[in-house]
Amino acid sequence: MRRVVTSEVLSPARHRWMHGKRVEEADHLVRYVFNQCAKGVSGLGLVNVRVAAQHYCGNVIRKMILGRRFFGEGMEDGGPGFEEEEHVEALFTILGYLYSFCVSDYFPFLRGFDLDGHEKVMKKAMASMKKFHDPIINARIRQGRDGEKEANDLLDVLIRLRDADGGPLLSEDEIKAQIVELMIATVDNPSNAIEWALAEMLNRPETFQQAIEELDRVVGKDRWVQESDISQLNYVKACAREAFRLHPIAPFNVPHVSVSDTTVAGYFIPKGSHVMLSRPGLGRNPKVWDKPLKFKPERHLNNGSEVVLAEPDLRMLSFSTGRRGCVGVNLGSTMTTMLLARLELIWDPP
């Protein structure tokens, strides 16, 4: 399944193919924020950055996978309707319990008792997800896997994959499971990082001003930032990296299990051990970072070379790395940068 996702869903070619859908949602984000501002007295409305960021991420991945940003009608101002709010809430509920400690993970004989109450909550969240996803997936599968109609989204791609004998490569259950996994892997990191980045930058006006000046220099005041600008927005990306470092989405990475006895950095790890990395422990390590509790984007600027959001040296965890690392680094980096840059430009619109 990992090979399928890497080569057929999140490949560079697919990333380019989905460009128009991502740009459309970035434009929707701007309209939504402006409409929210216009609701207030004299145009001084309030924008809930968490709502804007989380639903932007939800809209992007829904558009890419299912070909639609709304399950229902949506709101007149372009914001999420009841269905989208329920969908995103279910996604973040699943994510919250995915990272949480569960006693039955370490004592499997307790699993049937659901002592933590996690199973009940997760079943409810998954039922919400299935309520929205399954009718769309079932209808699309009933339309056939013959491929006569041109593929329009990633669901079409998954449905039309073939094995060596010409039969469907993925079963219906595998497609549904993979779609849920793609959804939950997309919405949390970008939205959390940008919420914290904006909070930190508003508390440091000089940092915000420097980001605006970079946007003015690279993008100008006559258009909105586009994905083609990302390679030149080093300071904006440095702000996002600093948010990843200082305010990770969860205290630990998802647990991994060692498949054999090994030694890492002088520590012996027996086979079968659960291995977890502390995200704050890495990102705020005073042996690695100068003034680790200070929001300082300049620390990520590397003598003019391009800033990237991934961190292969494990000095922090933005997207995981290694053989079990995130295969969607390109998508996650693009969404994160576009979200931050568009929201920053709204403060200084063209």
Concatenate the DSSP letters of all residues of 171-186 into one string: -HHHHHHHHHHHHHHH
Cβ–Cβ contacts within 10 Å for residue 212, how many?
A: 17
3-class SS of residue 236: helix
Q: Which residues are annotated as a binding site?
A: 326
The CA-to-CA distance between both ends of the chain, in Å, stands at 44
Asked if 148 and 156 touch (Cβ cutoff 8 Å), the reply is no
> CA-CA distance, 81 to 71, in Å (whole number)?
8
CB burial of 243-264 (b: ≥16 within 10 Å; e: otherwise) equals bbbbbbbbebbeeeeeeeeeee
> CA-CA distance, 122 to 124, in Å (whole number)?
5
Q: Which residues are annotated as a binding site for heme?
A: 326
Concatenate the DSSP letters of all residues of 293-310 into one string: TS--GGGG-BTTBPP-S-
Q: Which one, of 219, 212, 229, 236, lies nearest residue 300 by Cα? A: 236
